[in-house]
Amino acid sequence: MHAAVLRAFGDLSDAVVEEIPDPVPGPDEVLLRVEAVAANFVDLLVIDGKYQFLPDLPFVPGKGPAGVVIGLGTNVSNISEGDRVLAMAEQGGYGQLVTAPAQNVFKLPDSLSFVNAASMSLVYDTAWFALFERGRLTPGESAFILGASGGVGYASIQLAKAKGATVLAGLTTPAKADLFDDENIDGIIDLSVSNLRENMRNQVYAANGGKGVDVIIDPLGDEIFSAALRTLAWRGRLVVVGFAAGKIPTLKANYLLLKNIEVSGLQVSDYRKQRPDIMARCFADIFRLYEDDKIKAAPVETFPLSRFSEALETIHNRKIKGRAIILPQDV
């Protein structure tokens, strides 16, 4: 098969498309013909050697591909050959074939294309766990989504609105507000303003009826985290899902006490290992909402496997509205 293979960490140019042996599924795995896989910010971190969990070299990047099951391990009974699935593999998606644990493989609705499934992979499940498992968002509450034009941000807005929440979208580039339908957001918060510490809270209170928000989803970190913390309502919850802004912030614990607020983190891959039952419930809910037209996949731009590095560059340079999707069968 053909795949993008990384033999050294540190530079995107170190990953090249080459022919390698086909993978063989273990007893509890499936073999997938990959039809589509998203280029993710986390892929850049892994390739640069900056992610907290790094695979052994050499390896094929790419998380959460969509495709068709073409082989089964001896212990697999919940999946059949020919099934259209989303496979939450930790790596290998930038290849024409990949193996994945059967417990992390989910059958796709007929109405969901491989490209749209790949565009929802990793970001919709991250958003679901951040909002409902860690943030405990309930209908009628308010959600403030930082980095709203990113993959997790877009998914969080769709899911929060589908569940009956008031939704505020935080954007570092306000011009990207046209990514959203008006009915999905109740206010735009400009994260690029000066004196962010004061102006963010003023914007949030103005957009949310003069009060703080119940849940914040933060994939950005840096000074945005500290400013956002001040916009929480009493008993509010902030969920940290990443540090895309570049700097890991610090927190004064006394502030949590004074407002009875919570800050928690999410490493969604741990749920695949520790609580596959909740992960299955997550995807069942996401797929049901998609079939009911309550949520939709983000706009996409597709790339053949030979241009995988270009797909990743659009993520690195923040030049894409929506998702960059790699098509491994198109070499």
pLDDT per position as a tens digit, 5-64? 998 888 777 788 999 999 999 999 999 999 999 998 888 888 888 777 788 889 999 999
pLDDT per position as a tens digit, 218-274? 998 888 999 999 999 999 999 999 877 677 888 888 888 888 999 999 999 899 999
- pTM (whole model) above 0.95: no
What SS3 state is found at 6? strand
pLDDT per position as a tens digit, 216-227? 999 988 889 999
| Amino acid occupying residue 118 | A
3-state secondary structure 275-298: CHHHHHHHHHHHHHHHHCCCCCCC
In order of start, what are the domains of the chain with their CATH numbers?
A: 2-108+299-327 (3.90.180.10), 123-268 (3.40.50.720)
Can the peptide bond before residue 219 be classed as cis, meaning omega within 30 degrees of 0? no
Residue 221, CA distances (Å) to 60, 228, 238 in order:
28, 10, 11
DSSP characters for 89-152? Answer: -SS-TTBSEEEEEGGGEEEPPTTS-HHHHHHHTTHHHHHHIIIIIIS---TT-EEEETTTTSHH
| Amino acid occupying residue 327 | L
Distance between CA 194 and CA 19 in Å, rounded?
51
CB-count exposure of residue 72 (10 Å: 0-12, 13-18, 19+):
buried
